[in-house]
Structure 1
Amino acid sequence: MSVLEGARHSSPSPESPGTPSQTPPPYNGRNSKTKYSNLARAAIMTSASSTPRLEGEHLPNHAGHQHHSSLMPPPTSAFGRISPKSQPHGANSMGRALTDTPLPSAPGSPQISARGSAATSGSATPKLRATTLDIPGLTRSKVSPNGQIAERDVGAKLIIIMVGLPARGKSYIVKKIARYLNWLQHPTRIFNVGDRRRVAAGRGKPIPDRTTEALRESVRRMSSNTGGSSENNADPHLLPPPVIKTDDILVNGEAAKLDVLSPTSPPPTGSPESTENNHEPIQLPAPEPMDQSASFFDPQNTRGKQLREQVAHETLDELLKYVLEDGGSVGILDATNHTQERRLSLIRHIRERDENINVLFLESRCQDKNLLEANMRLKLSGPDYRGKDPIAALRDFQERVEQYEKSYQKLDDFEEDHNMAYCSMIDVGRKMISFQVQGFLSIQTVTYLMNFNLAPRQIWITRHGESTDNVAGKIGGDSSLSPNGVRYAKALERFIGEQWKLWEENQAQKQANTHFPPLPGDTTPPNPEYTAQTLQQRNFCVWTSMLKRSIETSQFFNEDEYDIKQMKMLDELNAGYMEGMTYTEIRHKFHHEYELRKRDKMAYRYPGPGGEGYFDVINRLGKVILEIERMTDHALIIGHRSISRVLLAYFMGLKQEDISDLDVPLGVLYMLEPRPYGVEFKAFRWDPVTDEFRYEPDYRMRRATDPQA
């Protein structure tokens, strides 16, 4: 008899659960006592024994039933085996009777695989989803109608793990990467281990975060149990406790804002602690700050190593939550991660959460002494040494670097043997080494890194002078400048020439007064640049669109002094059918389109031949951004409203919802100078009365007063 018939033969009848079932006629004339093969019996027993049972159910005490209770095959449906969780079970872990009731003929609900698992194909071979490019506003699919990376497409997301000794420009690099990827509309956040470590050790700015409080509590116990001893041998009981998971962490260098309790705060009203105990809250002593000098980073300092390891993994947990659960596309772990052991533990920790997400180790190494010296200057102005004597701070920092160097292991054959993708930047991109860099976001990131540099320079952005279409209130078109626009063009050339000369003089003076080690009162240089290049006068590029009003604004610049170029990428956003119309005309003739744009200006695309939206502008300006980052010269960009908005959004790190409504009026000139921790921003407004540009120290980026613009 078949296995199925044998199981039926010994099953209790559903009508009389207390008595054995009647034996059905043997199938195909086979004897009901036919022995099963060992292989079949083992397979059926394994499946049946793993099936859970319902609490409180009892099966009949029948010898035949008990003898064959493990032989029940799992029931099946049109989609394969029925999940054990969806069927009733007996007390002996056997499914209920296989009755003769036929399975439903109607198709069941489709089964969706859990996130991170491979979708099954028609065969037994699992099918892995393709992870092709996703570009917001330019690609579309069922799982991603707006072009954003879908939550289930984990294989398209990216985790970047920084590697490198202190003063190698890691934080500078990650902030630029985050700014660039966010500008491309791929949600990206930085998770800085050093900031969390300083807070956990009691040396940093307090952060209202439950994870931080747990870490600080562990530091408090370390200090109190050892009596402030600085010995390196740690008792196993002093290991920090498991840390409470939280939803936020240091993001992009800023503390997350949460309403949580401090160690000295009473519990909130209505909490179990407040209802059960009405006594005054116990005032706990503030945690004794852990020493953060060079000895803290000694590889032999077990206590310090414990804290650093715990903070690193808890920060990684926050990053994973952001990428896997909170809609993030890229998470960046900013830390030294200087040993192979640490990097391997991080990658294993990630793979425990998800096997498909891309991981890229990004190393920054410095071999140029001038660059390293400039980086050290910047580090001395950081949170670990702020307000301290420069000479003593430099000595302590150099000792800290020496402690890291004792155990530092660069990215090399070890990562290749373990198939760990990496990219090594040497001297900020002078030399690049990459291995197994795959995935759309990984390639975007490495391409960007190959183009940016640290040279000090100025980037100027302005709209064209007033055009005749501006006077008439029309959008788009290709009109010439008005008389007022011509005056603006002349004043612009004169002012830029003055500012260029002034900047070169200031750089020469700064170079002449540079000291190392720095003296008290010295200011940090604007960038960790090669000091030898500072004395060279830089070229000045003037870029315009290919529209008349932009080209005419550059007409007074001397081509012998300036490098002038027209770029199609800088053209104004194309309004399609609505080119040359006023907003009033659009509201009356295309009322539906007018309302659609008003509802979501960022995602709206004008109808008609050549019609564009802001996502299209971002895409074509990507090449311009890479060129600006690559070159070491000054640049003046004479653009249009949408062009100025998108470029300023990149340099200022603006959010997506702020781009399309940014106020960029005619007659305003913006100056941007790259800095180690951001961009220096200044605004100058042209005064038609005096025909001069006036610096506005209180200028702030804000939304346009006219919602139509």
Structure 2
Amino acid sequence: MTASESPRRSTEALIGYTPQHDTGSKLVIVMVGLPATGKSYVAKKLSRYLNWLQHKTQVFNVGDRRREAASNKSEASPQSLSHATFFDPTSQECVSLRDQLAINTLNELLEWLFNSGGNIGILDATNSTPARRQLVLSHIQKRRRDDLKVLFLESRCSNETLREANIRLKLSGPDYAGKDPEASLADFRLRIVHYEQAYVPLGLAEEKQGLSFVQMTDAGRKMNTHLIRGYILSQIVEYLLNFNLARRQIWLSCNGESMDDREGRIGRYSDLSDRGHQYAAALASFIEDQRQNWHAEPVSGHNPEQSQFCVWTSTWPQAVQTGRLFSSETYDQTHTKMLDDLNAGTMAGLTFEEISKQYPDEYAARRKDKLNYRWPGLGGEGYVDLIVRLRPLIVELERTTDNLVLITHRAVLRILVTYFLGIQRDGLGDVQMPRDTIYCFDIAEILELQTQFQRKRSEDETEHPSYSNSFQELRRSQLRQTPTPSPAQTNGTNTPLQEPRISSLSQYELLLRLRERMFEYNTLLLQVSKLSQAPSPKRSKLEILQRFLRDGQGGAGFPKGMEFNTWEEPEPSKYIVMMNAAAEDDFLTKLVTSVLLPIFHALFGQRWKTGKIIDQRSGLISYSDTKISRVGSILAAALSSALPVLTIFVLNNLHSTTVRIGVTLVFTTLFSFLLAAFSSAKRVEVFAATATFAAVEVVFIGSAINKSA
């Protein structure tokens, strides 16, 4: 039965590692092509993508094994295995040695695939003749059953400019490093000639055998496929179809700090904090500088006139607000749910400390296996779910020729960064994503650079710096910290955040500066508004302060000069205090404070030490306002009870109706005065109470007249 007739298997994993015993779900990719056609570039990039999809993939390069053999003098001299003559197809000895190196490398691949938990192995070699390809295929079938999937992937290059660039790139490779460039270039061109003599591209012979293969020309410009079946092969072809070699930059950033971020809460919508707005302004300004530099300083590999800058954000408000300051006239803006934060399920809105206390089992499970853990509850996601969600986005990033700024969330950013850096499965959960950080990946033909900038904080900067200071510090800062992962892991370089030239400020930058000043001005207005709403001090408290400042044993001499008159204004409304002020004291409370309290303190307070000493030298003593108010309330209650009784007693001892009416007038007036003085009653309330009191007196007088008659 040929491969084209074999039944389709259902064991192929959509994502993640496959069972060790399931050979039908494993795959060997055999690279095919002449030297300098981009085989190794395609193999490494494809390996990075498949590893990111959690299919354990590794590239086995025959050239590396050849150089290892060259370093072993017992096998061959270094000169013979790197010189062009070693690749002469007419030399049977050299052909046999190259075939043996290929088989040895293939054995390593199969050993790793079946005994070390591998999923996909890539044999990176020229495999440019039908005989070599048949040798590889036969060896695979000999080692294992024929249900092991094999894909031949040929990389061809018809673009002479690109081909020449690849050839010259080889001069810095391990075969020619440190050697004469002209001699090395001539040797490598001769090597290509030897390969071309025997080269046979994939085609009719492989079709007759029912083999799966892909022919890719100029890194995805043209594709020819045969018998591509199954999920993995389809995903590989889709990825290869979207290759492009256009020079472009991809900037990745977390959203600015949100209110939830400040409290450590996860998984829900939140607006930006003041610090988040600072970062949003600095990010827009920084990217604008980079955009202008990109167009002003063309480099090889890109056309600045055709390159656009686009901003993609998640649909969450903290990300949308972070990207809001990008000019819509300059940047195409898109909001996509693919960049939304990890759905935390029932844990949304909690801090990790709260999760550890309320759900200790979930907290422990996540710490044990962060990659495969999924938040519980409706819609809860894990990192594997994020990878599935972001797969179409990765394909789009490979397809686009525009420069992109992606504003997303920490978990999503971690997944994207691990893709570009090629971080393996085991290290995904340990990648640190510092806030206020942006990563730049400069995609060139065979070059990926990682850059990062961080806000520079001065030693005396507070936790939440002012807007203008933070903005200017960020504009002037340079990257001084090693990014995570380190440049040693990523072959990255650090790029400083440059200070713009004042003479060439754009309208956009001027607008940002104006925004700083308006922000400070509006903040000041809000502060003045809040101060104007604050209550004025009580007159009694102000008088105490004024007496204390005038007292020679108290505050005399402080403050001095013009400041001495600061508290001399007698009108309390001229002052503002930042505390809750009670209502102004009524007459009875003032009577207690100014008359009764000094008498009480002189007779009993000093002896019993009931007051609180404020200033020992001046003898300033404080009594509780609550207690004073309580004494005033007791006196008011006693007076309000005694006055009606006293009125009735006096009227009862008078026999003249005229005199009784006169006394009623006096007591009614006294009642009205005391009610107005000792209470906070309104005028209508005073009038109603007085009328009621007078009515009672009139009823009493009428009863007395009837009784005497």
TM-score normalised by length of structure 1: 0.63
- Deviation string 1:241-269 (CA, Å, 9 cap, x unpaired) is xxxxxxxxxxxxxxxxxxxxxxxxxxxxx
1:442 counterpart residue number: 233
1:177 counterpart residue number: 46
Distance 1:128 1:561 in 2: 54
Query: 1:160 aligned to 2:29?
Result: yes
Distance 1:598 1:291 in 2: 50
Match of 2:413, SS?
helix
Within the candidate set 82, 88, 99, 1:292 is matched to 82
> What's the CA shift for 1:458?
0.8
The letter of the residue matching 1:606 is W
Distance 2:304 2:89 in 1: 42
1:476 counterpart residue number: 267
2:455 counterpart residue number: 686
> What's the CA shift for 1:432?
0.2
Consecutive unaligned residues in structure 1, runs of 5 or more: 1-126, 137-146, 203-212, 220-286, 512-530, 704-709
> What's the CA shift for 1:605?
0.6
> What's the CA shift for 1:702?
5.1
Using the aligned pairs only, state the percent identity. Answer: 44
Query: 1:328 aligned to 2:141?
Result: no
1:348 counterpart residue number: 138
Within the candidate set 13, 18, 31, 1:134 is matched to 13
1:386 counterpart residue number: 177
Query: 1:368 aligned to 2:159?
Result: yes
The letter of the residue matching 2:101 is V
5 Å matches for 1:310-709? 310-354=100-144, 355-506=146-297, 508=298, 510-511=299-300, 534=303, 536-675=305-444, 679-687=448-456, 688=470, 690-692=473-475, 694-696=477-479, 698-701=481-484
Distance 2:480 2:53 in 1: 30
Distance 1:163 1:656 in 2: 28
1:190 counterpart residue number: 59
> What's the CA shift for 1:427?
1.1
Q: 1:502 to 1:389 in 2, by over 3 A?
A: farther
- Deviation string 1:428-472 (CA, Å, 9 cap, x unpaired) is 111100011223222211111011211111111110011111112
Cα RMSD, aligned residues only: 1.9
Distance 1:677 1:175 in 2: 10
Query: 1:217 aligned to 2:8?
Result: no
> What's the CA shift for 1:291?
5.2
Match of 2:248, SS?
coil
Match of 1:690, SS?
helix
Contact 2:24 2:147 in 1 (8 A): yes
Q: 1:581 to 1:344 in 2, by over 3 A?
A: same
The letter of the residue matching 1:131 is S
- Deviation string 1:602-640 (CA, Å, 9 cap, x unpaired) is 111111111111111111011111000011111111010
Match of 1:422, SS?
strand
5 Å matches for 1:158-307? 158-202=27-71, 217-219=74-76, 289-290=79-80, 292-307=82-97
Contact 1:149 1:156 in 2 (8 A): yes
Contact 1:461 1:638 in 2 (8 A): yes
- Deviation string 1:492-548 (CA, Å, 9 cap, x unpaired) is 111001112223334x2x44xxxxxxxxxxxxxxxxxxx5x5354411111100000
Q: 1:462 to 1:598 in 2, by over 3 A?
A: same
Contact 2:307 2:403 in 1 (8 A): yes
Q: 1:334 to 1:666 in 2, by over 3 A?
A: same
Contact 2:66 2:81 in 1 (8 A): no
Distance 1:195 1:387 in 2: 18
Distance 1:542 1:452 in 2: 21
> What's the CA shift for 1:594?
1.4
Within the candidate set 309, 312, 332, 2:99 is matched to 309
Q: 1:315 to 1:701 in 2, by over 3 A?
A: same
Distance 1:167 1:469 in 2: 52
> What's the CA shift for 1:677?
5.3
5 Å matches for 1:54-73? none
Match of 1:331, SS?
strand
Distance 1:164 1:697 in 2: 43
Query: 1:149 aligned to 2:18?
Result: yes
Match of 2:372, SS?
coil
Contact 1:504 1:537 in 2 (8 A): no
Distance 2:397 2:318 in 1: 23
Distance 1:156 1:693 in 2: 53
Contact 1:193 1:335 in 2 (8 A): yes
Contact 1:682 1:695 in 2 (8 A): no
Distance 2:176 2:284 in 1: 43
> What's the CA shift for 1:595?
1.5
Distance 2:304 2:285 in 1: 24
> Aligned pair count?
466
Pick which of 298-307 and 548-557 moved more: 298-307
The letter of the residue matching 2:395 is L
Distance 2:182 2:403 in 1: 35
Match of 1:492, SS?
helix
Distance 1:588 1:153 in 2: 42
Consecutive unaligned residues in structure 2, runs of 5 or more: 1-5, 457-469, 487-709
Distance 1:569 1:400 in 2: 47
- Deviation string 1:405-427 (CA, Å, 9 cap, x unpaired) is 00000001011111121100011
- Deviation string 1:96-121 (CA, Å, 9 cap, x unpaired) is xxxxxxxxxxxxxxxxxxxxxxxxxx
Q: 1:291 to 1:578 in 2, by over 3 A?
A: closer
Q: 1:482 to 1:427 in 2, by over 3 A?
A: same
The letter of the residue matching 2:296 is E
The letter of the residue matching 2:479 is E
Query: Which protein has the larger Cα radius of gyration, Structure 1 or Structure 2?
Result: 2
- Deviation string 1:48-99 (CA, Å, 9 cap, x unpaired) is xxxxxxxxxxxxxxxxxxxxxxxxxxxxxxxxxxxxxxxxxxxxxxxxxxxx
> What's the CA shift for 1:679?
2.2
Distance 1:288 1:333 in 2: 23
The letter of the residue matching 1:691 is L
Q: 1:298 to 1:693 in 2, by over 3 A?
A: farther
Distance 1:535 1:552 in 2: 28
Q: 1:380 to 1:702 in 2, by over 3 A?
A: closer
Contact 1:684 1:693 in 2 (8 A): no
Contact 1:682 1:697 in 2 (8 A): no
The letter of the residue matching 2:268 is G
Q: 1:296 to 1:584 in 2, by over 3 A?
A: same
Q: 1:473 to 1:494 in 2, by over 3 A?
A: same
